[in-house]
Amino acid sequence: MDRYAVVGHPISHSRSPWIHSQFAAQTAQSMQYTAMDIDPAQFEASIARFFDEGGAGLNITVPFKERACAMAQRRSAVVEACGAANTLYLDADRVLCAENTDGYGLLRDLLENHGARVTNARILLLGAGGAVRGVLPALLEQGPAYIGILNRSHDKALQLAGHFRGDVPVTVCAADQPFPAAFDLIINGTSAGLKGELPVIPDGAVHAQTWCYDMVYGKGETTFVQWAKQAGAARAIDGVGMLVEQAARAFSIWRGVSPQTSAVITALRRELSV
């Protein structure tokens, strides 16, 4: 039986094992999928050991996405562009390959599941870590008006913005400076929600048509979703749909078959609401 896992630190909150068990049952795949909490000091050694012992594929989450990219011997164009990987696997030549399905999952949820508008939208990204790196190329391909990055470390935000110079302006925002206009879409890519915290969000970022999207999910509403509703956002969405959609893409890379996601999203939301 092929072995897969999700790797992170912490990882106890992850619903990935449940999601992939649903996909496996739906598509009649014989596979095992578990969660692995890895000591950051042992990341590279643990990944190498997993594949040396016959592992077939890994999902990578906080805080290891950038290190997974660096470790891979072959990287997709998306991974090369963003410098972060959330999916690892061995190809036929047993070369360690890296992919990033976060951008696919985010756009699939925003555009297909919720009917959001990204083209020509004014977008604010909160955070500058692996999660934000992973979705930036996909967002830029949709042709937004511009993308602002707001991060606790201003230097890290500047570095990320400088990495994505092109037709769409990618700028760095400061929490203590007013914006020229409110944003159409605000995406929280920080891990603050895992601790029940809220990233710094300046006044004036939200207007009556603003959509807010939290890449984090959990039992009940996330802190960011609660804030968005109180701020008067038009829509406030958590990351459950993105989680399932990016997982489905990774599953199809590994197994060569694409599972249906809508029923899994519905079931997961039902479970998280209990």
Is the CA virtual torsion 243, 249, 252, 257 positive or negative? positive
Q: Give whole-number Cα distances, 242 to 56, 130, 190, in Å.
A: 23, 15, 15
How far is it, in rounded angstroms, from Cα 236 to Cα 229?
A: 6
Active-site position among 65, 156, 219, 229: 65
Amino acid in position 255: R
How far is it, in rounded angstroms, from Cα 260 to Cα 264?
A: 8
The distance from CA 205 to its chain's CA centroid, rounded to whole angstroms, is: 22
Identify whether 65 is a catalytic site residue. Answer: yes
What are the tokens at 131? 């999660």
Q: Do residues 228 and 207 touch, judged by C-beta distance below 8 A? A: no
Q: Do residues 149 and 161 touch, judged by C-beta distance below 8 A? A: yes
Enzyme catalytic residues: 65
